[in-house]
Structure 1
């Protein structure tokens, strides 16, 4: 199949979305398909550029910056983004290509006009890979009311859903959100698990043994540090375990809350916590090889379900998890049933601290922890499974 993959991030960017889409495109090729990634790129010298990135055809199109800018500017530039990509596509050497299917990744919620145009031109089906239910989560977090801005984003969100033939959500719990949408003919919502290709340990620029935390059992967090993660409880956890000189915490990444968390740790005088800047995705296995437990945090105000990409990466590298997540999240059952760690949904630091200490004991006594994690990753979170599922939906 000739497949258009629409997104706003791709390799060599280091975001979880960019890494997921890189692995997805590579797996499409491995299964005999021809994917082309269509992405907006700020600062591109020409209107468009057609590249080959690790064997994948990538059409990069000049577009305004949508990341690390103010909310109003970001909204306006994201609103324009799909039209910029469509214009670049029509001016490129791919303008006459007929697609057998369109796959797009959300966030962003603004790709709808581009996907609609591609579908009409090629008379093909589309598959929405939905990793973020916005603006609902923003309302849950108290970042937005249900006034005019909400209604604007809700209109954009609903239009995106209207051009999808199939929507792949992260967990069964998210399917209820689409009960009205999926009731219409020829529409379907299904669970499409996150995925991550296996990566070798090629080393890491971070060396824990050369830090004050050398020799300790290391709890690691690698990924975005933003409002949605609610990571304050992880610092509370570190502070509650400061007397345990055999336990340390390593935080790696970037995000809107990164500097605030660093400042908070410094103000508390925590000597069991280290922060590092974001590292390349190929260094992650080397980082995890030096650690013992992966940390997952989601703000308890969330009402939607989420299986973060970092959880998938922990499983793949055989790291059990300690998770503090919102009540009712399907991830809790997955962790408990798979016996791959401990999970808290009550925001009680004392309870989380007890789980952390119990987990330190568990991983010492239970030699099968690593194998259970890797088995879960192979069964649920492989690109091979994801591509087969998407192709089946596009061919239906």
Structure 2
């Protein structure tokens, strides 16, 4: 199939979304499909730029800047982004391409207009991959009320949904957000698991043996450290475990909360905690090979279900997980059923500490836990299964109006 894959992130960016889209585009190509990744590019001097990337075309289209600016400017820029992308796409060599399917990735919620235009010009179906449900999660987190901004973003999101023929959500629990949408004819709603490809295994510059955590059982967190993660309880856990000289906590990444968390760890003299800056995704396997447990953290105010990309990387590397997540999250059921770690849903320090010590005992005695982690990854999160599922969704003959 000739596939247009639309997103707002891709390498050389190192976000989890960029890694996922890199892996998805590679697998489409491996399975014999022709893929063009369409991206907004605010720094382009020309209207468009086409690059080759691992068997796919990356089409960068000039559009307004949407990152690292204030919220009002960002909202206006994101609203304009798909129209700029479409205008500049029409100037590119791909302008007359007949697509067999359009796939797009949310976030962002603003791609609806360009998806609609591509669908109409090619009379093809579209598949929306939803990884977070905005603006609902922002309301859950207390970042937004249900006033005018919420209603505006809700309209944008609803338009995006109306353009989709198939929507793939992360977990069964997230289907409830689309109960009304799926009632209309010729629409399909399904669970599309998160995914990862087998990474290139580059040497990681972080050497645990040369750090303050040398010789300890290391709990690692690698990824974004922002408000949505609710990571303060992890520093409280580290403080509670200071007496255990065999345990340490390694935090690797970036985010709005990093500097505050570093300062707090320093003030509390947490000598069992070490921070490092973000590393290349292909260095992650070597980092995890030096660690014993992966940490998943989600703010307890979340109401939607989320299986973060970092959970997949832990499973792929064969290390069990310690998860502090919102109550009722489908991730908790998965971890318990597959026996690949311990999950706290109460956000209570006493329980999290108890589960941490239970997990330490488990990894010391359960010789099969690493194998179960790897088996879970292959069964549920391998990228080749995801591509086949998307192609199947696009291949049904019915097309929504």
What TM-score range do you get, normalising by the shorter chain?
Answer: over 0.9
What corresponds to 2:211 in structure 1?
Answer: 211
* 5+ long unaligned stretches in structure 2: 397-401
What corresponds to 1:13 in structure 2?
Answer: 13
Q: Cα deviation per residue 1:199-252 (whole Å; 9 max; x = unaligned)?
A: 243210111111111010000000111111111111111111111110000001
Q: Cα deviation per residue 1:327-350 (whole Å; 9 max; x = unaligned)?
A: 010000000001000000001111
Question: Match of 2:218, SS?
Answer: strand
| In 1, Cα distance between equivalents of 2:115 and 2:239 | 48
Does 2:48 correspond to 1:23?
A: no
What corresponds to 2:314 in structure 1?
Answer: 314
Q: Cα deviation per residue 1:323-377 (whole Å; 9 max; x = unaligned)?
A: 0000010000000001000000001111111111111111111111110000000
Question: Match of 2:152, SS?
Answer: helix
Q: Cα deviation per residue 1:245-294 (whole Å; 9 max; x = unaligned)?
A: 10000001111111111111112111111111111111000110110000
Contact 1:197 1:383 in 2 (8 A): yes
What corresponds to 2:399 in structure 1?
Answer: none
Structure 1 residue 177: Cα displacement = 1.1
Does 2:196 correspond to 1:196?
A: yes
Structure 1 residue 188: Cα displacement = 1.2
Structure 1 residue 53: Cα displacement = 1.5
What corresponds to 1:363 in structure 2?
Answer: 363
Q: Cα deviation per residue 1:62-94 (whole Å; 9 max; x = unaligned)?
A: 222212222112111111111121112111011
| In 2, Cα distance between equivalents of 1:67 and 1:341 | 36
What corresponds to 2:291 in structure 1?
Answer: 291
| In 2, Cα distance between equivalents of 1:177 and 1:95 | 35
| In 2, Cα distance between equivalents of 1:241 and 1:69 | 40
- After TM superposition, the score normalised by the length of structure 1 is 0.99
Query: Could you tell which deviates more after superposition, 197-206 or 139-148?
Result: 197-206
Q: Cα deviation per residue 1:292-319 (whole Å; 9 max; x = unaligned)?
A: 0000000000110000000011000001
Q: Note closer, same or farther for the CA distance 1:6–1:159 as it changes in structure 2 (3 Å cut).
A: same
4+ runs of 1 displaced by more than 4 Å? none
Question: Match of 1:91, SS?
Answer: coil
Question: Match of 1:93, SS?
Answer: coil
What corresponds to 2:91 in structure 1?
Answer: 91
- Superposition RMSD on alpha carbons, in Å? 0.8
| In 2, Cα distance between equivalents of 1:260 and 1:114 | 39
Question: Match of 2:250, SS?
Answer: strand
What corresponds to 2:220 in structure 1?
Answer: 220
| In 2, Cα distance between equivalents of 1:305 and 1:149 | 23
* 5+ long unaligned stretches in structure 1: none
| In 1, Cα distance between equivalents of 2:224 and 2:83 | 28
Contact 1:240 1:350 in 2 (8 A): no
| In 2, Cα distance between equivalents of 1:5 and 1:326 | 32
What corresponds to 1:231 in structure 2?
Answer: 231
What corresponds to 1:149 in structure 2?
Answer: 149
Question: Match of 1:36, SS?
Answer: strand
| In 2, Cα distance between equivalents of 1:92 and 1:199 | 32
| In 1, Cα distance between equivalents of 2:154 and 2:75 | 13
Does 2:148 correspond to 1:135?
A: no
Superposed, 1:156-167 pairs within 5 Å as 156-167=156-167
Contact 1:315 1:374 in 2 (8 A): yes
| In 2, Cα distance between equivalents of 1:75 and 1:182 | 28
What corresponds to 1:331 in structure 2?
Answer: 331
Contact 1:106 1:131 in 2 (8 A): yes
| In 1, Cα distance between equivalents of 2:110 and 2:259 | 29
| In 2, Cα distance between equivalents of 1:200 and 1:18 | 15
Does 2:42 correspond to 1:42?
A: yes
| In 2, Cα distance between equivalents of 1:68 and 1:220 | 28
Does 2:77 correspond to 1:77?
A: yes
What corresponds to 2:382 in structure 1?
Answer: 382
| In 2, Cα distance between equivalents of 1:28 and 1:320 | 30
